Structure formats: structure tokens, C-alpha cells
Amino acid sequence: MTKLPGQVLDRVPRVFCAYVLPKLATVLFALSFLVLILPLAYLLALSFTDTDTLTMNGSFVGLRNFQRVVQDDTFWLAGWRGVLFAAATAAAQVALGLFLAVKLTRPFPGRRLVFALLLLPYAVPIVAMSAIWRWMLDGQHGIISYFMRVLHVFGANTDILNSPTTALAGVIAANIWYFYPFVLLFIAARLSQIPAAQFELAETEGVPRRRQFWTITLPHLAKTLGFLFVLRFLWMFNKFDSVWLLTRGGPIGTTENIPVLVYRECFHALRLGRAAATVVLAVLFLAILAITYRLSSPLRAVVFRRGLCWCRRIAAIARSRIRIRSQLRTTSFALWMRRQVRPSPSLLFAAVVLVFPLLWTLVSAFRPLDDLFQQPPSLIPRYATILNFSELVAKTDFVRQLLVSCLVATVSAILSPAAALGCVYVLRRAPPLVSRLARPLSLSLYAVPPLASVIPLFVLFARFHMTDSLLGLSLAILTISLPFNIWFLLAQLRSLDAHYEEAAILDGVSAYRRFVDIVLPAIRPSIVACCLFTFLLAFNDYLFAVVFLHSADRLTVSVGMANFVEASAVHWGHLTSAVVAVSTPMIILLLLGYRFLGERFVGVSVASSVGGNK
Amino acid sequence: MKNKIVIPVAALLVVLIYLLSSLGPWGSRGGGKNVLRLLSTETDPASVEIMKRLVTEFERTHPNVTIATEFLGFEAMYPKITAGIAAGAPPDIVGITNEETLALASRGQLEAVSSLIDAIGRDDFFVGALGEYEGEDYYVPYAMSILNLYYRTDLFEQHSLEPPKTWADMLRVCERLTLDHDGDGTVDLYGTAIPLGNGQATVNFFCTLLFSNEGHILAPDGSLVLGKGENRLRVLETIRFIAALARFSPPGSLGYEWKDLTAQFYAKTVASTYYAGRVIGLTERHAPGTPIGAAAYPYAKHPASATFSDGWAIVAGSVNRALAGELIQHLVSGQGYIDFLHTVPLHMTPPRRSVGSDPRFLANDFVQRYAHIKRVIDATANDAVNILAESGTMQPKAADIIKSQVIEEMLQRVVSGDATAEDALDDAVAKLKDILGE
């Protein structure tokens, strides 16, 4: 039979998708792991040398660096402080993210905007917000300190970030604020994958909200919350910029964690070898923690099963009564819908508190400079002005930097999840041992601090003339985003119902088609979450941009904004207006992202219930 | 259906990657010209604007040269240079302080620029602006930071106070000016702001006071004398004075760096502060109409000021050394240089006497309005000591001490009551010996 031209053309993309893409995915997988592993190997090699940071010269010294590091009390103190800081911030971020995500499942007018506003802290460059947090927490003229004085929360003359007793608490509070949106984003994605029928049934049975949360939501989220806690712990343990910019590890070293110690070793003491040894020991510690987490899975499984058991019981009871009470169900659902149009007061309170730093920045951006430091601080400006914005546009390269950042972030947001999907596709078909090792391995790579991998990566990229290139920067950002994306997508796949795929296998559907037609649609919210995460990460990146780029016309907005915070002065007008200017497109992006992620996520119960009624 | 998504996304990606790569190093930039990379840490928008103008002027007179200028904060400096050296692609010219200069020069990472200094006129420079290492100069200073006591003259007049000259005067004045106006137990105005955070400001402050008490950190032979003999007593006196002064400084002083000192001053929460001329311009912008005076920082035995300079250095391995030298000369001469200094007037103090007295420099409105402060700055500049060269030549160990944060932690422990001055000093000496390998 002769093929029509249209059919021939139709086959080209199919052949491409069925044969070329899987091969491409394999290559991507190999390249990704190579790019991720090389800096680690380089770092390990450096740790056995006495390499000087500024000359890069050094000789083999065996285990001497490790010996010196473990004999130093500072290392153990920094480690302990790092554990405390990471555990506190990770736990609080997960708790806050969970609270907000669950509260946001209820529909109310302006929900999208609240969702976007709540994600915003993650989008604003840390270097800018750190200066603003320092200002707000200043003991003499900071607005938060002023409120605390009025409310008698702290003593009259307390300066939170600069007091040895409160500095760590201040740093923890700021870091919870910076990063809770990350958790919110991923819990939101996971919530959207909970079968809506369970909420519907519980609702028709009159199961109270609180009980629904404990018996349905939490058991479903248990694994994700565990993952997120571990991830946030690893990430916060490696956190450098948000600690350094707030306190530089002081006062009296009370906020010094391992990355700050590494930075000081590397760029102050100029002992790159010893800094590398410190990183290697820290990564080992994190790897032990990750393995412990992995080994504790039977215990976690028991908790998880118990939760699910409750969930099933409710579903069973509901199923037996659903027909009898169909009329009642309609009535109760209508009541429930009416109840939902009001946002939860606790959500509104939390949103106001969490958005306050940005609100303060917004108000400050429209203030004249001589009104910024009035005593006592006031939320109402003497008069509003747009001078700060006009100066920002006229006297700086802000607009170009913003466009460059958007470009880099967009490419990264496509490249990284695409590469992660390629890796996931390959790993699902790999031998069981490789597949089993993939998750802990990607988790271990996530444990390598970016500060430690930036120099080896730069050297590597320089060999291929990819420094001072935005494409090179996007690829470098892959090294920090890819491990997480692989790990998260693998975790999501594990929680998928295997029956559909098994049925497809019985029908003789190819692996590629199963992946595209079954797996991808099922994890779509997670992919969107990965895209958003990577976009925000790339947009916010400072370290890689500052090292990899050097032409003035290629600087990103976070580097540009960092220049508003000089050693001797802060350009408040430029800084606050830049934060507002950056936030505006971010809100639009997050509203768009919400269309793909949020609609299903927040409307999960309602949509299904309405569908059920029909 | 899937292709409907895959193909547009792939197309978008291709377009974006094309855009990115067109801005990459294989683009048309340079175009066969000599490319000089210049890294500046002067990120004030006004300074950036003038720097760009100076660079354009140079490119106009050198048609075969392209200058790639980069403006980055101090924090980004070391990662940037380190990565560049490691990859064999460092910038050609860097604008750095004498502290960084010493760290790089002692590791052979900078080219000597003594001939440039001689060509400009060695004798014209203030002694404190220059710093030789092993008989060679490694940076051409373009600005000095002259540190003094800045105070609100209205408050001093209101309380009939004279600017303090000695440590005793300073304590007395600060005590008078630390006030709780409304009697609610919260201090509304502090006598002064002092830097005790982790950073250069604290070390500068400590050294200024220590030098005025005839104390030293390093001996002329480069050995550590911080805790030795009679010098130990002078160091202890200095630490105790700082602890006493801290009572009249806001409690946040334990974390204060340069920018916090200025912020406290223009927010009007302190009556005086330790800093350089930038505080004037910032106060004009944030608290217009605030009258400001300046005086040499109070001393124990004789006036002293530890200073640091910003300068241009040529990185070893630069393929265009001669051209780099020409560019540096262009950056520190003529009307353009004076305009550059005026971008942060009276803060970027000219390191050369001839520039400071140049009619073009003096013609500036800001400089004329604050002529009384300029006189104080000039007097201090004459006697200022390069913080890294207490005994004449720069000591590499001094840079290591400044970077170590040991001095800051020693002061923080005493001020916060965590340790006595003696214990804190002993611990600091032990740590420094370990760092310096003594």
C-alpha cells in the first residue's frame, strides 16, 4: 500500500521520538553525571594537597589536612551549629510549607495571587533581601526590632542579628522565610496527585477537616515531607550566602557553619587544600545521614502504612453509605462549597506576616531617601516618589541584567527538567542495581556545596571556552539543579500506581510510549514544579554568575543587585526599587505556573466533587 | 498530541540557546583587537559611569584595544580571581586594596609597577598610600580611606562639648551623649558607633587605637608581638578602652561593619562615628540638613590613623602588560581621574598631594562646602600609617592576620563579657601563632 505524503511526514517525529530521543536521553544521563561527578573528584584530589587558593600550587600531603581539620574545635563547633541550623530551618520550612499548601487547597477569591505572593521570597535575590533583613532587624532603626520593642518580645536594647544569644535565631528566621516557598511548591505538586475521591468521600461522611488532614492528606504526603525535610536539611547544611550576608558567621562565631568555615579557609586563609578536606568531611557526614535515612525506611513505612490504613477505612465506610446519602451529599457539598469561599483567617495572617518584608520593601521603594530612616519607623511614607525607579533605569544596567537573567533562567528551566527526565527514563530501564543506586547518588551530589564545586567547574568550563557565556552559565546551574530534579522525579515515580504501566506492558506498549503516555502525564505537576524551581534557582543564582561571567553586558540581575550593597554603603533607593521590579515579572510567572501546577493542586477536591455530582 | 508540546518546546529551546550562544565568547566581541580585562570594585553607580567614560576615552585613543570592564563587590573578588588563575584566564587589571595586593604579590600573582609609580612621581604620594613588598610596588593607589571621628555638631553644641582629643575625652563625651530622652529604659541616642563585626573595619579601628597607644601587632622583623612584654600591656589597654567605649555604642556594634556605621549615623541614632568621608554624602542624602564635623580619632599617647588604599594592580600573566600600564596611567590622571574621585567626594581621598591641591579638585561644590572637613582629612592623611606596614615595609603576615578574624573575635569576646581581656588576648595570640606558623 502506498503511503500518503502526510503519513510519511507524520512518521518522522514518531521515529524521532521513539528512537532518537531515548538515545539522546542516555547521552544526557551520561553527560549529566559526568558534569556532576567531576567537581567532586577534583575536590577529593585537592583535599590531599596543600594547595594555595591564589596560586593553585600545592603538593601531596596525604591525610594531614584531614588531621588538622578534625583536631580543630572550630570544625566541630561549626558542624554542630550547622546541624542545629539545618534541622531547625528544614523542620520549620516543611511545617510552614505544609500548612500553607493545605490551607491553599481551599478556593477563595484571590487565591492565585496569594499563592504567587507566598512563593515570591524564593524569587528575590538573596543578596538584596539579606540587606533588607539586616535593616529590618537593626536594633536601632529596624521596623521588626521596633515592633518587638513595642510588644516587649526582647529586651529594650536587643539587636537580634548582632547579639551572641539571638544571632542564630535571627539567621534561622530569615532562612525560613527565604526558602519555605520551595517546600510549598513541592508539597503543592504532591497534593495534586492525591486521589480527590478520598476527600470527597470523607466530606460526604462529615469527617471533620482536621481529621481529613491527619487521615488522608498526611499519610499521602508522609514520604514527600520526609524527602523534603532531608533535602532541605542537606541544602541548609550547605547554606553559605544567606548566612554570610547576614552575620558573616559572627558575633563570636555563633552563626558560623561549615560553609562559612570553608569560605574563610578558602578565601581568607587561602588554604584551598584544607578547605577541600573540610568539604569532603562534611559531605561524608551528610552521606552518612542520607544512608541512615535510607536505612530507616522500614520504620517510616510502618508510620506511612498506619496512616494509609486510616485513610482506607474512611474510604470503605464512605463507599458503603454513599448511595444511601446521595441527596444529603449534594446538600453537604453545597454547604461545603459555600464554606470554602472565605480564606482561612490563619492563612491570611500567615500570608500578611510572610509578605511583610516584601511589603516593607515595596513601601520603601516609593519613599524619598530622607524618609527611609525616620524614627519611629512608619509604614506610611511622607510622600510617594518614583525617583528611585527612574534612577534605577537611567543610572544602572538593571533592565538589561533583568532580561539576561530571564533568558538564563528560562533556558535552565527547560534544560534541567528535560535532562532530569532523560536521566529518569534511562534509570527506569537500567539494571536494578544502577536504578537502586541512582537516588542515593543524586542525593549525595545534592550534598556537595555549590561553593566547593564552583572552582573545579570553572576550570572545566574554561577548557571548553565556555566561561563568560550565558549558555555555559546555564549548564553550570544544571549541576545544582539536576541532582534535585532527578531525585524528586524518581521519588514521584515511585509513588505512582504501577497498574497502568503493567497493563500497558501486557498490551505490548513500548517503553518509550509508556513513559510518554502514562508516566509523563501522571507526574506533570511535578515537572512543572521542577521547571519553576529551576527557573527561580537560576534567576536567583549569584555565585556561579559572578565567577562564570565577566563582561558587563552579560551580568545577571543578582550580580547587579549585589553591587547596590557596597562594603561601605547600601544604595537603598536602587535596592528596594530593584526588588520591586524583579518581583513584578516573577508574580506574573508564578501566576502562569499556577495555571499548570495550581489549578489541579488547589482545585483537587472541588473539581472531583463537581465531576462526581455530574 | 505530545509532539504538539515537544516540538514547540524544542524550537523555543533552540532559539534561546542560539541567543545565549550569540552572547558567548565565540561571538563577535573583540573582533581581533587586543582585549584588556579590567575588574573594578567601585560599584557606586556614579563611579561606574565615570569609569565607563574613562575606558571609552582610552579605547578612542587606542583603536586596536577593547576594554572589558567588570564591576564587582569586594566579596566576589577572591572567588573571581582564584577561578581565573586556576583556569589560566585572570583579569589583566584589578582594583584592590593594599591588603589584597599583599596577599597576591607575596604569592607572585602580581606584576611590579614600581616604574609606573616613579613615572607618576613617587614623592607626590602620601607615605601611608604606598606599600612596598620586597623592594617593589605592586599597586598604583587611586584613593585612600582616611579614617576620622565624624560627629553631629548640633548635638555637641547643644551639650557644650568639644570634639574629643584623647581616650579619656572620648569616654566623657560619649557618656554625655548617650541619652534616654523619654525615660522608658531604651537609649534613644548613643554617644558613638564603633565597628566590632567580622571585617576590615574592626581591624582598622583596633589598629588605629593600638598605634596611638604605641602598641604593635608585628615587630619590624615580621614576628608576632601582640602578646609580648610591654606591648602586651598596651594591647590590653587598647582592648579595655574599646570595651569601655562599647557601652556608649549601640548593642549591635558586635556586628557592625563600614555600612552599619554610616547607617547608624544618618539614621541619627548615634552622635558620632568612626569612618571616612563617605558618611558626609550619605548623611546629606538620607538626613539632609544634619550638620557634620570631623576630628582626628581620639588617641592614647599621640594621634595615629591606620589607613588603607585602593589601587590598580596588574595580574601576573597578563599578555598586555605595557597596555595595562598605559591604561592605569590614564585612569589616575587628568580631569577624568578627578571626576572619578568626586563621585564619592572626600571619601576617595587623593593619595597624591598634587591632586588634593589641584584647583580642579578643589573647584567641586561638595569639597568647598566641607572645606573644614577636608582640612582634617589632609592633616590625617599626612600622618596615616599603612595598616600592613606598621614598620615601613608591608608584611605578608599582616594580611593573614587581617583576614583571620582573630582580632574581631578577641574584641567581641571581651565586649560581650564572654572573656576577660587577658584571656581573650592569650587565645588570640595562640590562634595567630597557629595561623602564622610560629
Q: What is the pLDDT of residues A9-27, one digit of tens each?
A: 445 555 655 666 666 666 7
Model confidence at B189: pLDDT above 70? yes
Residue A248 Rama label (left phi>0; alpha psi -120 to 50; beta): left
Better-predicted residue by pLDDT, A427 or B244: B244
Note whether B45 contacts A138, CB cutoff 8 Å. Answer: no
DSSP result, A311-377? HHHHHHHHHHHTTTTHHHHHHHHHHHHHHHTSPPHHHHHHHHHHHHHHHHHHHHHTS-GGGTT-SS-
| Residue B1, helix vs strand vs coil | coil
* Beta-carbon-side half-sphere exposure of residue A228 (alpha carbons within 13 Å): 28
Note whether B262 contacts A569, CB cutoff 8 Å. Answer: yes
Model confidence at A331: pLDDT above 50? no
Cα(A543)–Cα(A547) distance, rounded to whole angstroms? 6
Using CB atoms, pick whichever of A454, A466, A564 lies closest to residue B83.
A454
Better-predicted residue by pLDDT, B414 or A562: B414
What does the pLDDT average to over A514-539? Answer: 83
Cα(B362)–Cα(B378) distance, rounded to whole angstroms? 13
Q: Do A89 and A216 meet the contact criterion of CB atoms below 8 Å apart? A: no
Cα(A309)–Cα(B241) distance, rounded to whole angstroms? 69
Model confidence at B276: pLDDT above 70? yes
Residues of chain A with C-beta less than 8 angstroms from the C-beta of B79: 267, 454-455, 543, 546-547
Cα(A582)–Cα(A399) distance, rounded to whole angstroms? 10
Question: What is the model's pLDDT at position A414?
Answer: 87
| Chain B interface, best mutation among A71, A240, A478, A550, by max B CB count within 10 A | A550
Q: Do B218 and B224 meet the contact criterion of CB atoms below 8 Å apart? A: yes
Cα(B295)–Cα(B5) distance, rounded to whole angstroms? 70
Residues of chain A with C-beta less than 8 angstroms from the C-beta of B255: 159, 161-162, 167, 247-248, 250-251
* List of residues 6+ apart from A228 with CB closer than 8 A: A93, A94, A97, A183, A186, A187
- Cα-Cα-Cα-Cα dihedral sign, residues B46, B52, B56, B59: positive
**Cis amide bond preceding A376, omega within 30:** yes
| Residue A45, helix vs strand vs coil | helix
Cα(A526)–Cα(A26) distance, rounded to whole angstroms? 21
Q: Do B97 and B309 meet the contact criterion of CB atoms below 8 Å apart? A: yes
Among residues A539, A578, A572, A535, the alpha carbon closest in space to that of A556 is found at: A539
Q: What percent of chain B clears pLDDT 70, i.e. is strictly above it?
A: 92
Residue type, A151: L
Among residues A91, A483, A29, the alpha carbon closest in space to that of A283 is found at: A483
Question: What is the model's pLDDT at position A6?
Answer: 42
B67 φ/ψ angles, rounded to the nearest 5 degrees: -105, 120
Residues of chain A with C-beta less than 8 angstroms from the C-beta of B47: none
Among residues B120, B132, B126, B68, the alpha carbon closest in space to that of B94 is found at: B68
Closest chain B residue to A570 measured between Cα atoms?
B259
What does the pLDDT average to over B313-319? Answer: 85
Residue type, A200: E
Model confidence at A8: pLDDT above 50? no
Better-predicted residue by pLDDT, A55 or B215: B215
pLDDT band at residue A146 under the 50/70/90 scheme: confident
Lowest-confidence segment of A319-323, B28-32, B283-287 by average pLDDT: B28-32
Task: Please report, for residues A254, A369, B274, the alpha-carbon distance to residue B257 in angstroms, rounded to integers and kept in the order given.
Answer: 17, 21, 11
Among residues B333, B280, B337, the alpha carbon closest in space to that of B116 is found at: B333
| Residue B166, helix vs strand vs coil | strand
Better-predicted residue by pLDDT, A376 or B63: B63
Question: What is the model's pLDDT at position B13?
Answer: 66
What does the pLDDT average to over B57-69? Answer: 89
Better-predicted residue by pLDDT, A414 or B241: B241
DSSP result, B215-252? --SB-TTS-B-TTSHHHHHHHHHHHHHHHHHHTTS-GG
Q: Do B340 and B346 meet the contact criterion of CB atoms below 8 Å apart? A: no
What does the pLDDT average to over A410-417? Answer: 88
| Residue B292, helix vs strand vs coil | strand
Q: Do A243 and A255 meet the contact criterion of CB atoms below 8 Å apart? A: yes
Note whether B196 contacts A251, CB cutoff 8 Å. Answer: yes
Which residues partner with A52 through β-bridges?
A271
Question: What is the model's pLDDT at position A427?
Answer: 77
Long-range contacts of A518-522 (CB under 8 A, 24+ apart): A519/A493, A520/A421, A520/B2, A522/A193, A522/A496
Query: Do the strands B34-40 and B65-71 form a parallel or antiparallel pair, or are they unpaired?
Result: parallel
Cα(A202)–Cα(A316) distance, rounded to whole angstroms? 10
* List of residues 6+ apart from B136 with CB closer than 8 A: B105, B112, B114
Model confidence at A108: pLDDT above 70? yes
Using CB atoms, pick whichever of B80, B198, B409 lies closest to residue A546.
B80
Using CB atoms, pick whichever of A270, A546, A563 lies closest to residue B79.
A546
Model confidence at B248: pLDDT above 90? yes
Q: Do A21 and A512 meet the contact criterion of CB atoms below 8 Å apart? A: yes
| Residue A207, helix vs strand vs coil | coil
The three grid cell numbers given for residue B224, joined into one nine-digit string: 608576632
**Cis amide bond preceding A251, omega within 30:** yes
Angle formed by the axes of helices A111-119 and A345-365, nearest 10°? 60
Question: What is the model's pLDDT at position A305?
Answer: 65
Note whether B39 contacts A550, CB cutoff 8 Å. Answer: yes
Which residues partner with B293 through β-bridges?
B151
Closest chain B residue to A138 measured between Cα atoms?
B252
Q: Do B116 and B140 meet the contact criterion of CB atoms below 8 Å apart? A: yes
Note whether A139 contacts B109, CB cutoff 8 Å. Answer: no
Task: Please report, for residues A334, B234, B367, the alpha-carbon distance to residue B239 in angstroms, rounded to integers and kept in the order given.
Answer: 73, 9, 36
Q: Do A534 and A417 meet the contact criterion of CB atoms below 8 Å apart? A: yes
Among residues A126, A123, A128, the alpha carbon closest in space to that of A577 is found at: A128
The three grid cell numbers given for residue A45, joined into one nine-digit string: 584530589
Q: Do A276 and A295 meet the contact criterion of CB atoms below 8 Å apart? A: no
pTM of the model: 0.83
Q: Quick: pLDDT tens for B134-156.
A: 889 999 999 998 999 999 999 99
B262 C-beta neighbours (distance < 10 Å), count: 25
Among residues A437, A486, A605, A461, the alpha carbon closest in space to that of A544 is found at: A461
Residue type, B128: G
Note whether B83 contacts A547, CB cutoff 8 Å. Answer: yes
B404 to chain A, minimum CA–CA distance in Å? 6
B235 φ/ψ angles, rounded to the nearest 5 degrees: -65, -45
Question: What is the model's pLDDT at position A9?
Answer: 43
Question: What is the model's pLDDT at position B235?
Answer: 95
Note whether B3 contacts A163, CB cutoff 8 Å. Answer: no
B402 to chain A, minimum CA–CA distance in Å? 9
What does the pLDDT average to over A334-356? Answer: 72
Q: What percent of chain A clears pLDDT 90, i.e. is strictly above it?
A: 10
Residue B163 Rama label (left phi>0; alpha psi -120 to 50; beta): beta
Q: Do A93 and A543 meet the contact criterion of CB atoms below 8 Å apart? A: no
What does the pLDDT average to over B369-397? Answer: 84
B259 to chain A, minimum CA–CA distance in Å? 4
Task: Please report, for residues A263, A276, B399, the alpha-carbon distance to residue B404 in angstroms, rounded to integers and kept in the order given.
Answer: 12, 18, 9
Give alpha helix (H) positions in A430-569: 432-446, 450-463, 470-494, 499-506, 511-514, 520-522, 524-540, 543-548, 557-562
Which residue reads 505524503 in cell numbers? A5
pLDDT band at residue B411 under the 50/70/90 scheme: very high
Q: Quick: pLDDT tens for A169-223.
A: 999 999 999 999 888 888 887 777 777 777 778 878 777 777 777 778 887 888 7
Among residues A538, A520, A531, A443, the alpha carbon closest in space to that of A484 is found at: A443
Which residues partner with B110 through β-bridges?
B315
Q: Do A39 and B64 meet the contact criterion of CB atoms below 8 Å apart? A: no
Model confidence at A368: pLDDT above 80? yes
Note whether B199 contacts A248, CB cutoff 8 Å. Answer: yes
| Residue B304, helix vs strand vs coil | coil
